[in-house]
Amino acid sequence: MAVVFLNRYIFYEGNLPIFGIIVLIYTILKHETKITYRMILNVVTISFFIFIGYCLLRFNHSLTYIILGYTNNIYTIEVVHIWDMLIFLLLIVCSIALSYNSQKISKIVWLLIAGYVSMFIVRNLINIEATQQGSNLSSGFTIFSLMPFVLLGINENYKHKLRASYIILFILFLFFVLIGSRTATISIITFFIMLGIWPIITKHKFLYYSTFFAALLFICAFMIAYLLLMEDQHWVFAEQSNIGFLQKRIGTRFQIWQHLIEIISGDNWLYGFGVDFPTNLQEPVSYLFFDLNRENIAAESLYLELVYRTGVLGLLFFLLVLFCIWKMLWDGRHIWVVKLSGCMLISTMLICSAGTSLIFSTMQLKCGFIWLFFGLGIGAALRAKTIKPEPAHKRL
């Protein structure tokens, strides 16, 4: 009952504005929190603001829709997405300020998050068949968005902290495999690998930056290979298996992506059709084969959704935001929260390849958690860059 109550009322996606206000008030009232201009104006916030500005320019309807928030038309949710982006930006600024002053998560907050995650997993395992038949991405993304907060609160030395993190990640991996959340499963594996190779990729700045672009190349290669090599769209690993990961068809996105690319490759590939024209309003192309039980071709990929709405230019602006986050994390690469933020960033980029996450998502509140955690990493890295450690004799 507690999980149902939390899901229905506390973690309801429409509560993102309330969550943003709570975080803002907490940041202002927290007496040790000092706010400097670098927390508000940095490459991440500036690049995000530029991206939001570009989205406003690519909003085909009058800006009155955004300001007044009409509720009697099909574009209402697209207006909400614009406001969501502004709240995400607010969450980044607030979390930067909070983390700059303290990199420790409140014990009470950590216990609440860890307790909720535990109850959520148990509840879904009790009714595993319904979970497997339902929205696996929603269940997987819920846990994924809260996972770094659980790892952040582990109070051990680094070796034990790393070991405990691996155990938690392995448990979550088994849960994702069981419920059939394939994208979350692959992302948790990515997080696991990133955490292991973090000391290696942070030895040199060139290697660190190359990791980000290597992740992009991998995602691009994966999507291209998927479209070129997918022959049997109905193929599954083991349809009669009790394990959700093995039950699912792996070709469900093939037709959708094929139709979207055909449409995008026309005259609107550079600037897109507009922020207020989502892919779930787009019908399949008549001259291409389509036998899915749906009337639209909702992208199920943030990157394709971005290109469709905002064009290649909008996609580049968004990737610039992600790269700026990655860039700022470099200065605090040896700090635990920064390591988690970096691993989370690469893992989330992978989720975005096969799901609409971070922006233009129906899971706004969970996306808000992720942007908030990115801000925590940025704040810790910013402190490491601007505040030099005191000499050892002074610290004593």
Exposed/middle/buried for residue 268 (C-beta within 10 Å: 0-12, 13-18, 19+): middle
pLDDT tier for residue 136 given thresholds of 50, 70 and 90: very low
Residue 395 has pLDDT above 50, yes or no: no
What pLDDT score does 208 carry?
Answer: 96
Residue 159 counted as domain residue: yes
What pLDDT score does 296 carry?
Answer: 86
List, in sequence order, every beta strand (DSSP E) within 42-161. none
Assign 34 to helix, strand or coil.
Answer: coil
Residue 295 counted as domain residue: yes
What pLDDT score does 253 carry?
Answer: 82
277 vs 77, 298, 375, CA distance in Å? 11, 11, 30
pLDDT tens digits for 174-216? Answer: 888 888 778 888 889 999 999 999 999 999 999 999 999 999 9
φ, ψ of residue 74 in degrees (nearest 5): -75, -10
Q: What total number of domains does the chain contain?
A: 1
User: Which of 354, 278, 270, 265 has the alpha carbon at shortest distance from 309?
Assistant: 278
242: Cα separation from own chain's centroid: 29
256 vs 98, 285, 304, CA distance in Å? 42, 10, 10
| Structural domain boundaries enclosing 115 | 2-386
Exposed/middle/buried for residue 47 (C-beta within 10 Å: 0-12, 13-18, 19+): buried
User: Which of 25, 49, 28, 45 has the alpha carbon at shortest distance from 37?
Assistant: 45
Residue 394 counted as domain residue: no
Cα dihedral 297/309/347/174 (nearest 10): -20
What pLDDT score does 246 carry?
Answer: 47
Locate 257 and state its tokens: 């992506």
CB count, 10 Å around CB of 232?
10
What pLDDT score does 284 carry?
Answer: 87
The DSSP bridge partners found for residue 249 are: 236
Residue 391 counted as domain residue: no
Residue 205 counted as domain residue: yes
φ, ψ of residue 249 in degrees (nearest 5): -70, 145
User: Which conformational region is residue 180 in: left (phi greater than 0), alpha (psi within -120 to 50 degrees), or beta?
Assistant: left
CB 16 within 8 A of CB 22: no
Residue 222 counted as domain residue: yes
Residue 309 has pLDDT above 80, yes or no: yes
Q: How many CA atoms lie within 13 A of 323 on its CB side?
A: 16
Cα separation, 277 vs 273, whole angstroms: 6
Q: How many CA atoms lie within 13 A of 391 on its CB side?
A: 2
Residue 263 has pLDDT above 80, yes or no: yes
pLDDT tens digits for 49-69? Answer: 999 999 988 887 666 655 555
Residue 352 has pLDDT above 70, yes or no: yes
Cα separation, 50 vs 53, whole angstroms: 5
Residue 173 counted as domain residue: yes
What's the one-letter identity of residue 24? L
First to last CA, the chain: 50
CB 305 within 8 A of CB 278: yes
| 181/378: higher pLDDT | 378
Cα separation, 393 vs 396, whole angstroms: 5
Residue 396 has pLDDT above 50, yes or no: no
Average pLDDT, integer, range 13-34: 84
The DSSP bridge partners found for residue 305 are: none
Residue 367 counted as domain residue: yes
What pLDDT score does 38 carry?
Answer: 84
